[in-house]
Amino acid sequence: MVENRVILNLMVSLVYMSELVYMPIFRTIAQCLFCISVLGITLIGCSKKIREDVKSVSITPFTYDKYEIDTGTAKHQTIVSGFLLGGAVADIAVVNIDKDKSRHLHVYTFKNSGWELGLNTTLRQQVLFVDIANFDGHDRLITYEPGHLNWFDIDSDTERVLIDIDIKCNGLNANKIPHIDITRDLNGDGRDDLVLPNIDGFWISTQMDNGSFSEPIKVGPPDPFLDEKPMDESRSYREVGINTLTVFWYLSRLHQMDYDQDGRIDLVFWNEDHFDVYLQRADGMFSTDAVTFTVDVSFDTDGAYAIAFAFSGENLFSLMFGFRENSKHKMLHMFRDFNCDGVADMVIHTLEGRSLGKQHSLYQVHFGEQANNGTKFSQDIDLTIRPTGKAGGLLPWGYAYQWWQDIDGDGQIDILFKDVKTAIGGMVRAMVGNSIPIDLAFFRMEEGMYPHKPTVTRRLRPSLEIFNAQGVFFPAVLLGDVNGDNRSDLIVGKNWSEMNVYLGIPGPKLLTRDPQKVTVAMPHDERNMRLVDLNKDNKQDILIYHPSSSEPHRVVMLKTR
C-alpha cells in the first residue's frame, strides 16, 4: 500500500511537470520509471555537505516584510506585476477565465498595510495571452487576440489597439490566459520594444520617442524544424505552433550584437549555413534587408531546442538509459562580450553522450574582432567551460538552466549552471522520497579566464519525505540582488516551508557558506516563484504564487526593506 502511494505520487508529479511541454515524452519516461520501480530498484541519492573556507566579511542581511493577497477561486490564474495604477509600489494583476469563458482582470494596489483590490473588470473574449510593457512613461497591461496586440487603458476601462499583427499560437490552453514575455529592448535605447515570434520569422516593433510603436516588420528566416516532428510527438513543429513552451524555443533564435561596430545593436539570425544581420538604423529601427556573413567555426544548428528534433525517431527507452551509440551535437548558444573589448564573442555548446539524461556539456568561446565593416570570429577556441552536470540534453524542457551574468560585481561574466539529477538515482529519490535533487555549479571569471572546475558548488537535497501528501518537492532556484549590495544572491527552496538565501560576498567564494533561513511556504511549481522589483529600490523582491483547486488562490510577497 505504501509502495503504491509512493509510485502514484511520482507519477502525478511527473505528469504535473510535463504540463510544461506539448509532447508526451515525459509520460513515456514515467512509464519507464514505473518499470524500474516494479523491478525493485531502490537506489536513493545521498547527501554530502561541502566544506568551504569563507573569510568573515561584512554583508547586508536580507530583510523583508511579508504580505499576502487572496486572489479568489478559479481553475487557472495568471499573475503579473507592474506599476499599472500609478502608485509607488507595483500592482499585482490577476487574469483568469470563468466557466462562461469571460476573461476577468483584477488589479490589486498597495495601500498602507498591504495590497487591496483596485480594479475589477473584464477583457475581450478572444484574448489569448498577456504581458506588461512600459511605454509613454507608464506600465501597461498588453493583451493579444488574433490580429491585434492591444493595451488596457485603465482610465477608460477599455482595450485599445497597439499594433495590428497575427501569429500562429493555436497551441495555447483554451482554459488559461498565460503570461508570454514579448517585450525587450531590441535597439539599446532603454525602452521596451515588441518581438513576436511566428513560424516564418519574427515580427518586431520598436518604441519611438513619443511612446508609440513603429509599424511591425518581419525579420529572420523561418524555423528550420517546421516540418519535423520532435521526440515522441505525432505532430510537426508547424502544427504545434506557438505555446508557453515553444515561445522560448523560437525566441532563442534571436541574437543581438553590434555587428558593424557603429555603436548600435543589430539583430542576428542563423540561416542554414550563414548569418543574416538586420542592421539598426540611426532612428532606432531596423533594416528589412539583411546583410550576411559566415564563420570558420563549425556547428550543427542554432539553439538547444534542436535536441528535441535531433533524437526524433529513436527508441525512447534506449535513449533514456543509454542503450545506443554515443552521439555529439554542436549548437550556437549566444553572442556576448567576454573579453571586454567592445566586440561580441560567439559561444558554441556541445552535447555528447549515450543517454538523453546524461549528456556532457562543453561551452567554447570564440573571440570576435572588427573586420571589413563587420565582425569576424576566431577559429581558435579562446575560452572553455566544462560544467559538471549532465542534464544539458534536457535543457529545452527546463531540467537544466544557466545564468550568464556578473554575479560578484567585478564587471566580468560569471556563470551558474543548474542541473536536475536526471540519472536513475535522482529519479528514484524523487519516487521514494518525494525529493528532486539539484546540483548548482558556479564558474567565476578571474583575469579573463574560467577555472577548469567550478569555483563554488551547491548540492540541493531536500529532505526525504516519503509520506508527505504534498507530492514531489522541486526546489525553486533564483539568482538576484535581494539586499542591494550589487552582488547576486542565491535563493533556493529548502523544503515545503523554508527558503534559504545565500548572500553574495566579494572574492572567489561568491556566496556565504551558511544561508539565511526564511520561513515561508514554497510553491508546488517552481515557476510560480520569481524575482520582481516592487518599489524601484534596486533590490529584488520575491513573489510566490500558490494556486489551489479547493481554496482561494494566494500570492505571497516578500518585499525588501
Per the listing, cell 515588441 goes with 194
Task: Look at residue 276 and tell me whether its pLDDT is greater than 80.
Answer: yes
- Check: CB of residue 277 under 8 Å from CB of residue 286: no
Q: Indicate if the alpha-carbon torsion angle 243, 247, 249, 253 is positive or negative.
A: positive
Q: What is the pLDDT of residue 244?
A: 87
Which residue do the cell numbers 539565511 mark?
A: 516
Supply the pLDDT for residue 394.
81
In this structure, are strands 274-278 and 291-293 parallel, antiparallel, or unpaired?
antiparallel
Residue 223 has pLDDT above 80, yes or no: yes
Q: What is the pLDDT of residue 466?
A: 66
List pLDDT tens digits, range 524-543: 999 999 999 999 999 999 99
Query: Residue 420 is placed in which grid cell?
Result: 536536475
Q: Is residue 71 predicted with pLDDT exceeding 60?
A: yes
% pLDDT > 70, the chain = 86
Beta pairing, strands 327-336 & 301-302: parallel
d(CA 131, CA 499): 28
pTM comes to 0.87
pLDDT(54) > 70: no
Q: Which pLDDT belongs to residue 357?
A: 80
Return d(Cα 441, Cα 323) in angstroms, integer.
28
Answer whether residue 36 shows pLDDT above 90: no
CA distance 539 to 395: 29
Mean pLDDT of the 225-240 span: 87
Helices vs. strands in the chain: H and E counts, helices first: 7, 35
For the CA atoms of 18, 19, 20, 23, the dihedral, rounded to the nearest 10 degrees, stands at 70
Q: β-pairing, 541-546 with 529-532?
A: antiparallel
Cα separation, 219 vs 183, whole angstroms: 16
Residue 26 pLDDT: 46
Q: What are phi and psi of 365, to 5 degrees?
A: -105, 130
The Cα 183–Cα 301 span in angstroms is: 26
Write out 480-518 in H/E/C secondary structure.
ECCCCCCCCEEEEEEECCEEEEECECCCCCCECCCCEEE
pLDDT tens-place string over residues 293-333 = 999 999 999 988 998 888 877 777 787 778 888 889 999 99
Cβ proximity of 498 and 519 under 8 Å: yes
User: Average of pLDDT values for 16-25?
Assistant: 40
Class of residue 118 by CB neighbours under 10 A (exposed 0-12, middle 13-18, buried 19+): middle
Q: Using one digit for the tens of pLDDT, what is the confidence trace for 3-15?
A: 333 333 333 344 3
β-strand pairing of 291-293 with 138-145: unpaired
pLDDT of residue 48: 34
* Residue 548 CB partners (closer than 8 Å, separation 6+): 73, 554
383 pLDDT higher than 90: yes
113 vs 500: which has the higher pLDDT: 500
The pLDDT assigned to 23 comes to 43
pLDDT, one tens digit per residue, over 141-152 is: 999 999 999 999
What tens digit of pLDDT does each residue of 417-442 get? 999 876 666 666 666 656 788 999 99
Compute the distance between CA of residue 214 and CA of residue 426 in angstroms, rounded to an integer.
50
Instruction: Identify the pLDDT of residue 298.
Output: 96
Contact 241, 169 (CB under 8 A): yes
Length of the chain: 561
Q: What grid cell was written down for 327?
A: 552521439
User: Is the distance from CB of 436 to CB of 474 less than 8 angstroms?
Assistant: yes
| Predicted local confidence at residue 251, as pLDDT | 94
Q: If pLDDT is split at 50, 70 and 90, which confidence band does 465 have?
A: low
Output phi, psi for 410, to 5 deg.
-100, 5
**If residue 33 lies in a helix (H) or strand (E), which one and from where to where?**
helix 25-39
- pLDDT of residue 512 exceeding 90: yes
Output the pLDDT for position 429: 60
Q: How far apart are CA 11 and CA 540, in angstroms?
A: 35
Residue 283 pLDDT greater than 50, yes or no:
yes
Sign of the torsion angle spanned by Cα atoms 284, 287, 291, 297: positive
Tell me the domain boundaries of the chain.
1-75+411-561
pLDDT at 469: 66
